[in-house]
Structure 1
Amino acid sequence: MADKQISLPAKLINGGIAGLIGVTCVFPIDLAKTRLQNQQNGQRMYTSMSDCLIKTIRSEGYFGMYRGAAVNLTLVTPEKAIKLAANDFFRHHLSKDGQKLTLLREMLAGCGAGTCQVIVTTPMEMLKIQLQDAGRIAAQKKILAAQAQLTRDLLRSHGIAGLYKGLGATLLRDVPFSIVYFPLFANLNQLGQPASEEKSPFYVSFLAGCVAGSTAAVAVNPCDVVKTRLQSLQRGVNEDTYSGFLDCARKILRNEGPSAFLKGAYCRALVIAPLFGIAQVVYFLGIGETLLGLLQSPQP
């Protein structure tokens, strides 16, 4: 195992394919999560995930559930590719002579992966949240903005730096998420290995990804609520504005109580569980390695 090399291009392909499949499957639930997290006391339009999705379909049509999906599908490929490939990279270089990583080293690898991914995650989430929440604001103000125009307006008024609004909150969410997720997944996945040198069956990787993903998602949900609020540029009637992470956290706690930090946790767990389950199956099936092997094989 010591001389085993990782193929970075293959890992990037695997991560990208996994992200595309996963996002396509769970995006409506992610939209519900964003809208539930953004609504404040006194302006509650939705009582639950199902209520949000039903009202979205009624007011915006079926494809309203995929508002902002184009941004996510475009950027999720590099985002998931960086996250998964970076974790593999750090695990590979933190291992000693192929020995099993200690829990601390697994957490360090996850920390590195979470830190690397925010380069793409922050602008992706920034744009996605504006588009996902536009329907909720429109329902209050009776104004609908085109997706392309919203992106152009954001860039014009805030510049490239505006796409990184909420960077600190994104780091505070994604780094702890990766610190929890990757070690937990690795250890759960290892339980299903037939032998030390063999891969776990695909269903074990899927279940391990689901359990680890949902656990990590709920654990960092308070940071996700704060991040979502900070990255939402439009506000509903009488809704609070925030100057930073601590100001946002204080106002949520004061005005909405501790339970507000768990808004959307159920939706987020439902999004992350299959997303990472699918990601790990695609990743461990080695689709990227297969594709590169076909491209590099000599032609007859």
Structure 2
Amino acid sequence: MADTQFSLVPKVINGGIAGIVGVTCVFPIDLVKTRLQNQQPGPNGQLMYKNFRDCLVQTFKKEKFFGMYRGSGVNLLLITPEKAIKLVGNDFFRYHLKQEGKKLSLTREMIAGSSAGACQIIVTTPMELLKIQLQDAGRTATVEGSKAAAVKPPKISATSIAMQLIKEKGITGIYKGCAATALRDITFSAIYFPLFAHLNSLGKRKEGSHEAVFYVSFISGLAAGCVASFSVNPLDVVKTRLQTLTKGSSDKTYTSWMHCFRSTLKHEGVLAFFKGAGCRIMVIAPLFGIAQTVYYVGIAEYILGIKK
């Protein structure tokens, strides 16, 4: 049974709340993911971080608790429109692609998901660009300083970075890595949303409703997030490296996503594209599990007094 109308306002509010709750829970893992993806072998092949645990411990020792949330401000500010566009966009395209009396085909589900992914890059690209600079500041500071010393990251803000980029390159400055971001997000959404919908349809329904109970949505989001995030990790590595503006002395500079892909493959091998894959799964799986649960629970409907 399909909805007879598409209620935009509550869906946007639910999408925003879902994003805020999800990001707050998993942001420290996302910071570790960014640093692992960005680290490149030094002149002697040495690596700053051995693995996820080593990066987490080093970062916490040097930058303490609040250091683990570097860049979270811009993420929390922009995650509301980003998640709203992604979640609401998918529902919107599914609603309009559904034919009367027919089940939505897999092809149409993938079109709906990829269309939602394409729409979100207007917010995702600058959000990720600014977040990465803040998250990676501790790594680049340590690369340039002494590893033994507790090098403090420079004091920078998302506003100062954005203003500098706009001043030097215009509005396109904050859209560096847009093509790589589009490749990642469109592919992710084309995989994630159809898989989530199919998994979610298999679970227990709420009494007197066609909607799944909250834990089914959570588990479905978790599982679909695992598969989709691992599948697009190579694209995420390329995107992260392209969007890193401040480099260590041994870090390579790339001119395009294709140049980054070829250079990484040549100098670091295939496994380099799966750096931070475990961290990314640990970020995306619970993020979307939480987001889908919050989105479908219907907090906005409760606040606005709308009957679901």
TM-score normalised by length of structure 2: 0.92
SS of 2:175 mapped into structure 1: coil
Tell me, which stretches of 5 or more residues in structure 1 are unaligned?
A: none
Specify the code of the residue in structure 2 equivalent to 1:103. L
Partner of 1:46: 49
| Mapped pair 1:185 → 2:196 | yes
Separation in structure 2 between the aligned mates of residue 190 and residue 34 of structure 1, nearest angstrom = 34
SS of 1:66 mapped into structure 2: coil
- 1:107-140 C-alpha deviation (Å, 9 max, x unpaired): 0100110000111000000100111001101112
**Is residue 162–residue 174 contact of structure 2 (8 Å, CA) maintained in 1?**
no
**Is residue 154–residue 162 contact of structure 1 (8 Å, CA) maintained in 2?**
yes
Specify the code of the residue in structure 1 equivalent to 2:8. L
Per-residue deviation at 1:286?
1.2
Specify the code of the residue in structure 2 equivalent to 1:118. I
- 1:254-286 C-alpha deviation (Å, 9 max, x unpaired): 110000000011000000011000111111111
Partner of 1:242: 254
Partner of 1:138: 141
Separation in structure 2 between the aligned mates of residue 194 and residue 18 of structure 1, nearest angstrom = 21
Separation in structure 2 between the aligned mates of residue 98 and residue 286 of structure 1, nearest angstrom = 26
Partner of 1:55: 58
Partner of 1:227: 239
Separation in structure 1 between the aligned mates of residue 262 and residue 118 of structure 2, nearest angstrom = 25
| Mapped pair 1:273 → 2:273 | no
SS of 2:240 mapped into structure 1: helix
TM-score normalised by length of structure 1: 0.94
**Is residue 2–residue 97 contact of structure 1 (8 Å, CA) maintained in 2?**
no
SS of 1:163 mapped into structure 2: helix
Tell me, which stretches of 5 or more residues in structure 2 are unaligned?
A: 146-152
Specify the code of the residue in structure 2 equivalent to 1:22. G
Per-residue deviation at 1:197?
4.9
| Mapped pair 1:119 → 2:129 | no
Per-residue deviation at 1:38?
0.3
Partner of 2:17: 17
Structure 1 segment 22-171 matched on structure 2, within 5 A: 22-42=22-42, 44-142=47-145, 144-147=154-157, 148-171=159-182
Moved more, 68-77 or 193-202: 193-202
Per-residue deviation at 1:292?
2.2
- 1:22-56 C-alpha deviation (Å, 9 max, x unpaired): 00000000000000000012252111111111111
Separation in structure 2 between the aligned mates of residue 167 and residue 284 of structure 1, nearest angstrom = 30
Tell me which of 189, 193, 208 is aligned to 2:220: 208
Separation in structure 2 between the aligned mates of residue 189 and residue 272 of structure 1, nearest angstrom = 17
| Mapped pair 1:252 → 2:264 | yes
Separation in structure 1 between the aligned mates of residue 250 and residue 54 of structure 2, nearest angstrom = 23
**Is residue 193–residue 200 contact of structure 1 (8 Å, CA) maintained in 2?**
yes
**Is residue 34–residue 133 contact of structure 1 (8 Å, CA) maintained in 2?**
yes
- 1:222-276 C-alpha deviation (Å, 9 max, x unpaired): 0000000000011112211101011100110011000000001100000001100
Separation in structure 1 between the aligned mates of residue 112 and residue 204 of structure 2, nearest angstrom = 21
Partner of 2:149: none
